[in-house]
Amino acid sequence: MEKSEIIILQSAYNKTPGQKYYIQPCKDPATGEYPSCVREVLDERTHQMILSETDKEDMKKGVVLLPASKPIVVQHGTTFDLSVPRQRAEWEAIKNSSMIAKDRFEKNADGTYVVDGEKPYETETGVIRGRFGKADLYIFRPGVAAKNRNSIRELVFKATDLVLHDPAGLSGWITKCKLLEKDMSRSNENDIKDYLLTQAEKYPEKIIELYTGTTTQIRLLLLEAMNKHIVRKNGGLILYSDDIVLGSSMDAAVAYLSQPEHNQVKKLIEQETFPDLFAKKAKTEAKKD
């Protein structure tokens, strides 16, 4: 059975043995409807469900339907095995409850924490919650945290390997540093290597993009264009000519030139940055004609 088929509810603070939470089936906020396993009731005291003939036939076949009026009782450590029909139905019935956060540090749209409200802080005895949020329970998925850590390790390994085996060696490292907007052309080789490996550990995806991404050539173009003052920085903006704003950062400028509608601007920058290359290309094409 896959680990992702198991969901465990944990309480952030109230872990007293036997402390129970009574959560009624909840409507999906996106649709305003109950999950497909929940039915309205005729009598809230008896939880008698309103069932169609199809519902009755489905229940005979083992389909689990739950009354909207009957709470699902959970506590710290309650486990839902989603491969078990009743447990899957119970989880579907309550998963949209405001009492349950998707994870321990899920945030609301305003940046506050679903469980803690204001940002929690740590002391020697553990995490202290700020202004209380709506949720007290959160979802713990066995193996997911470890899977995420392993994915990060794999990215770091790939980024580190790319740095260590840069085919251009030292000159390649210096170029990569420049692409990261750090000029280390006069630095010691070990310092350059240390900087790039540190970046690989902190921002592996960015380093991988430098070595394998489609935008590296555009970054190199911008770097050379800046060296020749064809593209320049002014007032926190990167400009080409006097009126074309490429962005407020190297990343923004790369994104700008990567867009098809700005191909003409990129071509003009290339022509000014590498005039000899374009002259040679034009001469070759003229000979073909």
pLDDT tens readout for residues 27-62: 999 999 999 999 999 989 999 999 999 999 999 999
Strand 66-67 and strand 38-39: the pairing is parallel
Q: Whole-angstrom Cα distance, residue 53 to residue 57?
A: 6
Q: Rounded to the nearest 5°, which phi and psi values hold at 111? A: 90, -5
Q: Under DSSP, is residue 52 helix (H, G, I), strand (E, B) or coil?
A: coil
Strand 126-128 and strand 121-123: the pairing is antiparallel
What pLDDT does 129 receive?
Answer: 52
Q: Rounded to the nearest 5°, which phi and psi values hold at 184? A: -120, 25
Place of tokens 């680990």: 3
Q: Whole-angstrom Cα distance, residue 38 to residue 95?
A: 12
What pLDDT does 104 receive?
Answer: 82
What pLDDT does 33 receive?
Answer: 95
Please give the C-alpha separations between residue 16 and each of 77, 137, 283, in angstroms, as whole numbers.
Answer: 11, 13, 82
What's the first-to-final CA gap in the chain, in angstroms? 67
Beta strands in the chain, from DSSP E residues, in sequence order: 6-11, 20-23, 38-39, 41-43, 48-49, 66-67, 72-75, 79-81, 100-101, 121-123, 126-128, 137-140, 231-234, 237-240, 244-247
In the chain, helix, strand, coil percent, each to 5?
45, 20, 40
Say how many CA atoms lie within 13 Å of 30 toward its Cβ.
2
What pLDDT does 75 receive?
Answer: 93
Q: Contact, 47 vs 66, CB < 8 A?
A: no
What pLDDT does 188 receive?
Answer: 95
Strand 231-234 and strand 6-11: the pairing is unpaired
- The H or E element containing residue 114 is none
What pLDDT does 241 receive?
Answer: 87
User: Which tokens sit at 76?
Assistant: 């710290």
Q: Could you write out the DSSP letters of every residue in 244-272?
A: EEEESSHHHHHHHHHSGGGHHHHHHHHHH
State which residues of the chain have pLDDT below 50.
1-3
Tell me the residue type at 149: R
In this structure, how many other beta carbons lie within 10 angstroms of the beta carbon of residue 177? 19
Sign of CA dihedral 25, 28, 31, 37: negative
